[in-house]
Amino acid sequence: MLSPRLYILNVAKDPTEASRISRESAKQIQDKELKLLDLVQSLGDYLTDDDKTTRAKAIGYLSSVLGYLDPKTLSRQQVAVIAQFLCDRLEDETGLKETSQGLFALQKSSRFGKEEAILVSSAICKVDLQKHPQGTRFAVLSLIDGLMANQRDALRAIGGKFVTGFAELVGGEKDPRNLMIVFSVVNVILVEFDIVPHIEILFDVVYCYFPITFKPPPDDPYGITAQDLKLRLRECIASTKYFAGHVFPQLIEKLDSTSLSVKKDVLQTIAACALSYGPQTISTHSTQLWDAVKFEVLNSTEEDELATEALSVIRAIAETLSFGLKFSTPTVSPLARYLSGIVKECLKLLQEPQQKQAKSAGKILSKSATASTVAHTFIVEKTMPALLLIHGDADGLAKQRALMEILNLLFQSTLQIFGTWGDLTAEQVLPNPFTEYTDKLFEMYSQALMGSLREELSLRITALKGLVLLCRTRRLFQENEIGMVVQYLDQVLLEVKEKEEIKELALQGLKDISKIKPNLIMDITFPAFMAQLPDSEKEADPSKPYTATLEALAKLSLGRSVFQVLLTRLLNKLDTVLRGKSGPMYPQAILSTLLYVLQKKPESSQEDIKTYFTRLVVPLLTKTIIPVVDNSSEFQDFRILTDDSILDVTGRLFNIIIRSLGFEEQINVSRQLINIFVLGIPSDYIPITHAGIVARDFKPLQQAANKDQARCTILFTYALAGLRREVALTTLSLPGLIQQNVELATQTAHPAQRMAHVYLVALLANKWMTKPGDSDLLQKITVNLLESVSSSILGSPEYDNLVGQKLQIVLWITKAIVVRGDKYGMEVAEEVVKLLGDKNYGQTASKGFAVLLGNDEFIAKNNYAILRPLTKQKIFTFCVPKIVEGFRVADTTTKPNYLVALSNILRNTPPAVILPELGRLLPLLLQSLDLPDPNVKSATIETLLITVTESADAMKEHISSLSARLLNTCTNREENPPRIRSAALRCLRTFPGAIRTELLLPYRGQVIRSLATVLDDPKRSVRKEAVDCRAKWYSLDEPEY
């Protein structure tokens, strides 16, 4: 038989071929063309060979064949024979890895039984494992892991012999991958085996690894982290209560460690044990553990991570001791004894609530109270009388505020235990212990919020937070009490002299209450706020800006029922404002309020949004259009709706509502809008009284249209943007409409109107001009426009603007077809790159790449545009080499055009695409920092920041020039706005830590000296960045001599 020989010859030099050979042998066995016994006998000479490598390869061949066999192939007798054969081979330690792999494959067989499992496990536990390399140990441990998964009953039947054998086998293991298996197996043993006689052995096996200090190598192929090992080890330690007497004293001792990581690991492990060991065991150690961990909380800082972990321990103990207690806490129960000690010590500290440890004591009480309903009830009943007495005796506002902050912590625990109004979780059986104190608390907090001087901001903020927490807690406050709180918050928000900080909290409080009691917001807040809105801009009080009131209303109205009320009231207000001959700002603010709410609604609310079509789209459409065709006095007040700013908001409202409509609904909408804007056919949307005159006189897309009609085009554009591309515009001549809008875009001097035509052309090109013949028209248009641009010479400013407008149309058409994968789009992009070298229009062309790659609201996924994946990558790959080459040969007057174009591409391209090309781009990026355009600098610095972080080696040749340019950027206040100066400092700050220290040290002194001047920057944000940057460069080690 040649197969064994061929396998042995190939396994080292060609593993793929070796696998093929063993797989073929396995197939022959399954097809009964080869007997397994014959295969084993054919290995005879190789198994007795003097060369140990040959012996190992021979066993490897058998193991590989077994691995390829179907689990049902071998008979019961064959399994028993092969198991015995391989166990005998364990004596030859040379092939231990291969033998273990064979046994691992064999134990997957469906006929591998209890006897074989006992045989294999007993044999493998006799191996001196630790003298073997990591790979061999992994194979052995994988075998045991497989036996534990598939033959657990057999291993359990062996009992103590397996437990002690396994403990001896794995002793001293250090490899992370192997330890993950060891911890998994030990965890099963601790949970499912009789371990009482072996507690000390197993504890020694496990605890010797605590704490884990493993740091994975940077090229670790297995991806095992220190956290993975910590979690697996923690599961072992916490899996059996029998470890308690051993583990708690040792863990408590390790709390004296100076390592924060070790202490955190200790506290997390204690918490896991506390939750796992059961109340009987934990009751024995609860006082000991409390005494050990309270120090970490009582002596902590505000954001101390260790304090958080210690609080989790305290809570975990209370949670475990609460087990079985549903209705009360007997005074003799372990929970009562544990909590009594905590309450006694915390109340002692709370006698002076403004002291540092008092707040920590409050956190302890609050965290303990979240352990269970009975724990919460016990703590509240034992602490509230004393806390109210301390508050009553407080001789200063600072003490009152400090105590109210403690109470707020308890309110948070109450909210967590009893839930908020409308929660789907079942209500607690026990009554809320705060119920008997609600009158006192309401009076106390109301007095602090509304009865204190406005200057006592901290006290009032604390009271406001507390009242909102009490309002949110299920069935605690009565509805009239919550209503009073709503009135308080309204007053705070509407008071001009209130600080912004407390106003923001009041608004957040109203938002929270609107989710649980929307009727109170509608009945109390809305009337109060609407009364603040003037009926015209003339009546507006500068000290009470209506924009702030509208903003608050918008943020309170995200709920469906609340928004319905807001919509009615604001539309009525809009009518009133328009009748008062308003300017554009106030109506725009009202419509922006409605738009804000619709934009904030989640995707799941699309059904809600579509219901506003008849209430918003149709009325706004008629109110905008009728005044531009009917000059009677009745409608002239509404003519202000054709102001650009209002039309833009109205269009956005149309867009967000129309795109939420169903397919059939969109078909009808498209027909009606086309009738109105293009065909001049009476529409159902226009009242009968004006349907005829609108059809006759409303011609926004005609050359002769007056400016108010022409501006309305943006509404049509926004509406079309929201239509699905499957909605066929059958009543339109698309080529004619595109040509018409191209001409209008080049002939209007009004920017907003021109862009409405440009966007309309782009939308039609992307979503509906997708047939093979349609591309010809688009090519013809772009060719004509490009020829017009390239043949132009500098003339009057008006003529220059016209050429720029033509180029803009080209860019938007290109964008529309490139993103849907049209090859012609790349040809146009190449022409635009060529224009960068044009002294007249290269600057305009350079800005065009922001159009080609930038995200915009029209050609977007939510507007059903056709967007092919990897479009930006294709444009980058196609254009950047040409830009780099063009820059190389360009003269000094046009070089900036290439840099601006490059920055616009980089700003809109994913970093993963940019990084491979950095080598040739860096020289251009450095020169971009010398340009005066802040947008170019911003894009450049952003790219450099990514480069330093992701590919620092690419920077090492340019540290000198780059650091000098960044320093110049952050020190030159005249050319660079604060955001650019801050960005330069952030980039410079990333150098230490990302780039090798020895490369940075020559520039350390220069950087630190230059940054000294930035410390006096007039902008605080820049000064802060300068301080952080200087500190990072200061921390660089000096060279060793």
How does residue 214 score in pLDDT terms, banded at 50, 70 and 90? confident
How far apart, in whole angstroms, are the C-alpha atoms of residue 236 and residue 259?
23
Q: Is 209 helix (H, G, I), strand (E, B) or coil?
A: coil
Query: 334, 283 in Cβ contact below 8 A?
Result: yes
Q: What percentage of residues in the chain have a pLDDT greater than 90?
A: 65
Model confidence at 511: pLDDT above 80? yes
pLDDT at position 609: 87
Phi, psi of 181 (to 5 degrees): -70, -45
Q: Lowest mean pLDDT: which of 1-5, 360-364, 720-724?
A: 1-5
CB atoms within 10 A of CB 896: 22
At residue 869, what are phi and psi to the nearest 5 degrees? -65, 155
Yes or no: say if 898 and 836 are a contact pair by the CB < 8 Å rule: yes
User: How far is it, in rounded angstroms, from Cα 506 to Cα 500?
Assistant: 10
Predicted pLDDT at 1037: 64
CB under 8 Å to 312, separation ≥6 — which residues?
Answer: 267, 268, 271, 367
The pLDDT of residue 935 is 78
Please give the residue that has the higher pLDDT: either 927 or 741: 741
Q: What average pLDDT score do residues 783-788 get?
A: 86
Burial of 933 (0-12, 13-18, 19+ CB in 10 A): middle
Q: How many residues does the chain have?
A: 1041
- Across 924-931, average pLDDT: 84
Find tokens 């002194």 and name the residue.
1005
pLDDT for 548-562, tens place per residue?
999 999 999 988 889
pLDDT greater than 70 at residue 1038: no
Which two structure tokens, joined as six digits, stand for 330?
């007997």
Reported as a single tens digit per residue, the pLDDT across 456-480 is 999 999 999 999 999 999 989 999 9
Task: Report pLDDT for 604.
Answer: 61
166-194 tens-digit pLDDT: 999 998 899 999 999 999 999 999 999 99
Predicted TM-score of the model (pTM): 0.78
Q: Please state the three-class secondary structure of 620-651 as a single string.
A: HHHHHHHHHHCCCHHHHHHHHHHCHHHHHHHH
Residue 1 has pLDDT above 70, yes or no: no
Q: What is the mean pLDDT of residues 295-301?
A: 87
Is residue 366 over pLDDT 80?
yes
Say which residue, 538 or 334, is predicted with more confidence.
Answer: 334
Task: Please give the DSSP secondary-structure letter assigned to residue 90.
Answer: T
- Determine the CATH number of domain 910-1034: 1.25.40
Give the separation between CA 762 and CA 863, rounded to whole angstroms.
Answer: 13
pLDDT digits (tens, 9 = 90+) for 138-174: 999 999 999 999 999 999 999 899 999 999 999 889 9
Please say if the pLDDT value at position 954 is more than 90.
no
Mean pLDDT of all residues in 967-989: 92
Residues 399-405, mean pLDDT to the nearest whole number: 95
CA distances from residue 486 to 1, 422, 528 in whole angstroms, order as listed: 91, 18, 11
State whether the Cα torsion 277-282-285-286 is positive or negative. positive
793: left (phi over 0), alpha (psi -120 to 50) or beta: beta
Q: What is the pLDDT of residues 636-668, one digit of tens each?
A: 889 999 999 999 999 999 999 999 999 999 999
> Long-range contacts of range 879-883, CB-CB < 8 Å, 24 or more positions apart?
879/829, 879/830, 879/833, 879/849, 879/905, 880/905, 880/917, 880/921, 882/830, 882/833, 883/833, 883/836
Q: What is the mean pLDDT of residues 666-695?
A: 95
| Helix (H) or strand (E) segment spanning residue 886 | helix 871-889
User: For residue 426, what is the DSSP state?
Assistant: P
Determine how many CB atoms are found less than 10 A away from the CB of residue 903. 27
So what's the pLDDT on residue 796?
46
Separation in Å, CA 1027 to CA 246, 567, 983: 50, 49, 14
| Nearest one of 176, 85, 92, 186 to 137, comparing CA atoms | 176
| Confidence (pLDDT) at 792 | 62
Q: What's the burial of 327, exposed, middle or buried (CB within 10 Å: 0-12/13-18/19+)?
A: exposed
Tell me what the pLDDT averaged over the chain comes to: 90
Amino acid letter, 107: Q
Q: What pLDDT shows up at residue 1039?
A: 43
C-alpha dist (Å) from residue 136 to 130, 143, 175, 374, 531: 10, 11, 12, 54, 81
Q: Cα(529)–Cα(525) distance, rounded to whole angstroms?
A: 6
Residue 822 φ/ψ region, left for φ over 0, alpha for ψ in the -120 to 50 degree band, beta for the rest = beta
DSSP annotation of 678 reads: I
Peptide bond into 211 cis (omega under 30): yes
Higher-confidence residue: 82 or 958? 82
Residue 13, Ramachandran bin (φ over 0: left; ψ between -120 and 50: alpha; else beta): alpha
Reported as a pLDDT band with limits 50, 70 and 90, residue 939 is confident
Quote the CA–CA distance of 223 and 581 in Å, as a whole number: 69
What is the DSSP secondary-structure string of 17-86? HHHHHHHHHHHHHHTTSS-HHHHHHHTHHHHT-S-HHHHHHHHHHHHHHHHHS-TTSS-HHHHHHHHHHH
The residues, any chain, with a CB within 8 Å of residue 540's CB and separated by 6 or more, are 534, 546, 586
Which whole-number Å values give the CA distances from 450 to 195, 440, 457, 724, in the listed order?
65, 15, 11, 54
For the chain, give every domain's residue range: 70-238, 610-732, 910-1034
Task: Flag the least confident range among 531-540, 793-802, 838-847, 929-938.
Answer: 793-802
Say how far apart CA 812 and CA 814 lie, in whole Å: 5
User: Which positions ≥6 away from 932 have C-beta within 8 Å?
Assistant: 975
Model confidence at 603, pLDDT cuts 50, 70, 90, reads low
Give the span between the Cα atoms of 1001 and 1034, in whole angstroms.
10
SS3 579: helix
What separation in angstroms does the CA of 82 have from each of 27, 75, 99, 953? Answer: 18, 11, 11, 56
What per-residue confidence (pLDDT) applies to 979? 92
214-223, 522-531, 630-639: which has the highest mean pLDDT? Answer: 522-531
Q: What is residue 1040's predicted lDDT score, i.e. its pLDDT?
A: 39
Q: What is the pLDDT of residues 897-918, one digit of tens each?
A: 888 888 888 888 887 888 788 7
Res. 922 pLDDT band, cuts 50 70 90: confident
| CA–CA separation, 551 and 589 (whole Å) | 9
pLDDT attached to residue 1041: 32
What is the pLDDT, as a whole number, of residue 419? 92
Greater confidence, 732 or 117?
117
> Is residue 194 a contact partner of residue 246, using CB atoms and an 8 Å limit?
no
Sign of the CA dihedral running 460, 461, 464, 469: negative
Residue pointed to by tokens 């609080």? 311
Contact yes or no for 782/816 (Cβ under 8 A): no
What's the DSSP call for residue 907?
H
- Tell me how many helices (H) and strands (E) the chain has: 55, 0
Q: Residue 832, Cα to own-chain centre: how many angstroms?
A: 37
> How far is residue 381 from each of residues 291, 328, 424, measured CA to CA in Å?
23, 12, 27
Over 90: is that where the pLDDT of 773 sits? no
Percent of the chain with pLDDT strictly greater than 70: 98
Contact 233, 265 (CB under 8 A): no
Q: Judge contact between 154 and 121, C-beta under 8 A.
A: yes
Please report, for residues 839, 898, 928, the alpha-carbon distance to residue 891 in angstroms, rounded to integers and kept in the order given: 10, 11, 15
For 188-212, b/e burial (b = at least 16 CB within 10 A) is bbbeebebeebeebbbebbbebbbb
User: What letter does residue 108 receive in the DSSP assignment?
Assistant: T
Question: Stretch 391-408: mean pLDDT, rounded?
Answer: 92
